[in-house]
Each structure stands twice: as structure tokens, then as C-alpha cells.
Structure 1
Amino acid sequence: MEAKSLGVIGGMGPKATSVFFDHVIEQTAADRDQDHINMVILNHATLPDRTSVILSQKGELFLEAVAKDLKLLEATGVSNIAIPCNTSHYFYDEMQKMTSINIINMVDESLKVIYDAYGEHCKVGILATNGTVSSGVYRKGCDQYNMQLHEPSEEVQEHVMDIIYNKVKRNLPVEPSEFEGIIQHLLEHDQCQCVIIACTELSCIPIQSEIAKHCVDAMAVLVQKSIELSGKQSITK
């Protein structure tokens, strides 16, 4: 397959973008510099907060800002665009209409992975921002695949938001066991068969393999799809 360049609209948040970049490098089969993917990364940290614009119904503020990024990436000649931010995918259709370049849909690609592994009628727990949860992007997708999306209780969701905004985004340490406890609660108490990690900040937190095997990380799915569409092989396959 012909090698193609990848555009990335990052900064949502910067740490998550850094982790995405590192994972693409680490998981691309390469013996030398020239075997890696050519990437153009826009770390647009000042993009309006996605959760805020969704909840306040001011999505045009985000779309006006990201439109400039799409034009910049078009000018560089990239073949595909990755956006390592789940919440931004609430605006996926509008963003795709702004450009002729394929934007990788991390929500749909992640749900495909879950469907292939668990099939119809599986109960899927979601860990994400309030914006992603309230936007319904994953619920709509689950409905299309005839899967059941389970949203955390208000108490658990507040805990998730605290980890995202008051720890990861502030570059403060997160005890992995704290995050693992939330996942275990969804698996054991709420009887979910799978948990989707649908926030790239949460993807920055390392978790034990025994727990990770019950999760689908949307960031990891985006990394794999980015490598594939760039015409490269992944070392994890």
C-alpha cells in the first residue's frame, strides 16, 4: 500500500496529543526514520472547550476555529486527518463537510471493534466527558450496531470529570488504581461486558492488562486506523 501522510488536529488536550503521537511512532513497524509516517500535527490548544460549547449550544465557536485547521492541513497535502478527541466527534459530520480529506471517525471505528468482539446486545459502559456523554454520539452509534450503551451514575461521572479536568489536564498525577476502580465498578456492579475509554485524557492513564482486556480504548483504535490508512504496518498485529 502506498505510504500516505497523516494530518492531526491536536491540543484537545496537548498531553493526549503527545500520547497519540508517541503511540503512532511506537506501534508503526519501522527499522529506520524513513519507515515512519509523515505527520503534520497542529497542536491547537486554544480551541474552545468541546464540552462547554456542546452544553451551552455554541458549537459554532468550535467549528469556526477548527475550520482554519482543516484548511491548513489541506494545504500541506495530507491524505487523512486524525483528531484525538472524542468529544469533538459530536461535530464530525460538519467537519467532514468542510474538507475533501478523509477525517478518521474514531467513534465509529471504536464501535466497530466492540461489535466485532462482543456482537449485538452487548452492554457497553462509557467513560468520557460530560460533553461526549450528553452529546449522544456513542449512544447513537451503539443503537446502529444494536448494542446497549450504559452511562455511569451521576456520582461516578463526577469522579470521571474530576480525573479528566482536575488531574490529567492539569498535568497532575493520577493513581491508576483510582481509574481502574471506576472500570471495575462498571464491569462488576453495572454488569457491563465491555468499557469504552472514550476520552483521550483517560487514555493517558496506564491500567493493568487484566482490566484493559475488558476495555476498548478509542485512542488506541485511532492509532491503529491511522497507521493502516497511512499505508504502514502495525507491530501489534
Structure 2
Amino acid sequence: MIDSEAENINNTSKKIIGILGGMGPLATADLFYKIITLTDAKSDNEHIHVIIDNNTEIPDRTNYILGTGEDPKKYLIESALKLELMGADVIIMPCNTAHYFYDEIVKYIHIPFLNMISETVKEIRRTNTEIKKVGLLATKGTCFAGIYDKIFNKYNIEVVKPDDTNENIVSDLIYSVKKGVKKYDLNSVQSVLSYFKSKDVDTVILGCTELPVAFKMLNIKGNYVDPTKILAQSAIKFVGKKIVEHE
């Protein structure tokens, strides 16, 4: 009788999302916030059970990719395993650059791991079947490693990245957000966006999870793709919940 009751409880329990976070904490909180606000729920109990490992000890991903820092792979794998052991049914990771290690992490876990880059390109293709190229704002590590290029090229979408000068501006903005800087020179950001316009790029991906936070803080409007929001929506649907209609 006890075994039967336990089995029934397990079958009716809600699926759990595990967030492999800490890269950085504000981006992790942004993903969690978006999961909450995008979930169609009328009470606490209708929301999704979420486990967050805000592992701030994970070494800088860009530094490693550029050959100047510690390999974060073991830390990422440990966090993923921890989330699985704690009962997560699916893992999501709010760090674009860390997806450089995605294929290595999935070797060690036995639950689904939603790939933010893959989810982003599928959503872009779903909403615009004719799109041929996109702009990418991201860390130097993401750009150098071609993390977006490898996946977007499979969909015949060209990824246009800033030149060195504008890439330095993007990098400075990203790390300013990580440092907690509240004010930033908007003119420098606009110069980056003007660069994309000169390349006839209409759709720009905010390919670092600090950037949606920064663009909201600076009140920058435009045709921007937010991978954090797309990942939140994908995770919500994965665990069987509905997305609120007004978002």
C-alpha cells in the first residue's frame, strides 16, 4: 500500500527546473524572474518548482576560452550533477559563453539540458522564416569561439559580430553590469547598434545574459532578441506549464 501511494505521489508531482547559475548572479535572477512572470499561474502552488545553484565560484568562461584563465568545466559539471541529484527534471543555464562546454556537461548527466543557443535559433526561425542574418552582442569568448555561428549556420543564418572597437564596448558594458554599475555611456552603446545598421542587420541578439538586464536598465528599445526570455519560455513549456498570454 505504501509503495502504491509513493508511486502515485511521484506520478502526480510537478516537474522541476534546475538552473545552473552564478554566471553572473544578476543574470541568474533575471532568468528566474522571467520564469515566474511568464508562467500562467494564479497562485503560489501553480508556479513551477525551481532549484537554483547560484555557483559564483565558476571561473570566468571568456578568460579560459581566450587562454588566460582556469578551465570552468569541472565546476559546471559539478553544478549540473548537483541539480540532477536534487531532483531537477531539466537543466537550463543562463550564460551564453558557458554553452561552449555544453557538449561536455551533457555527457555526465541523465536528464535533459535545454541549449539556450538552439532554443534561440528555433524561435527566430519560427517567427521569421526568411531571415538570413542576425547581429550578435556577446562576450569576446562567445564571439571568438563561434558558439552562435556553429548552431545558426545549420539554419543558414549568418551571424554578424561587431568589429574590435565595438566588441570592446560590448565587453565593457557586460562587465560593468557584473560589477553592479548602474550608469553607462549610452552613446557608446548606440555606436555599436549603428554598426549593425551599416551592415543591414535588423535583428540583434542580446547574446550575453547581462545584456537584457543592461538594455532594460538603459531603456534601449529596438528589435532585439532576448535568449534569456526564450530559454525561460522553453523551460516553462518543457515542464508542461502555459505561458501568460500578455507577454
Superposition TM-score, scaled by structure 2 size: 0.87
The equivalent position to 1:170 in structure 2, one of 163, 173, 179, is 179
Work out the CA distance in 2 between the residues paired with 1:179 and 1:106.
27
| 1:232 counterpart = 2:241 | yes
SS at match of 1:231: coil
**Mapped partners of 1:163, 1:97: distance in 2:** 34
Match of 2:66 among 55, 58, 81: 55
Query: Is contact 1:122–1:193 with CA below 8 Å preserved after alignment?
Result: no
CA shift for structure 1 position 120: 5.0
Uncovered stretches (5+) of structure 1, i.e. residues with no partner: none
Match of 1:36 among 14, 23, 47: 47
Change (3 A) 1:82 1:176: farther
Distance 1:183 1:36, change over 3 A: farther
Q: Does residue 109 of structure 1 match 2:143?
A: no
Based on CA coordinates, which of the two structures has the bigger radius of gyration? Answer: 2
Between the aligned residues of both structures, percent identity stands at 34
Runs of 4+ residues deviating >4 angstroms? 175-180, 207-210
Tell me the CA shift for residue 58 of structure 1: 6.7
Amino acid paired to 2:117: V
Instruction: Say if 2:77 is the partner of 1:67.
Output: yes
> 1:180 Cα shift?
5.8
2:3 corresponds to 1:9: no
Distance of 1:179 and 1:231 partners within structure 2: 42
User: Given residue 46 of structure 2, which amino acid in structure 1 is its aligned partner?
Assistant: D
Choose between structure 1 and 2 for higher RCO, CA contacts under 8 A separated by at least 6 residues: 1
Q: Secondary structure at the match of 1:102?
A: coil
Query: How many angstroms does 1:184 deviate by?
Result: 3.3
Aligned residue runs from structure 1 range 166-205, under 5 A:
167-175=176-184, 177-178=186-187, 181-182=190-191, 184-205=193-214
Q: Deviations over 1:79-121 (max 9, x none)?
A: 1001000000011111111101111100011011122233356
Q: What's 2:229 paired with?
A: 220
Equivalent pairs, count: 233
72-81 or 118-127: which moved more? Answer: 118-127
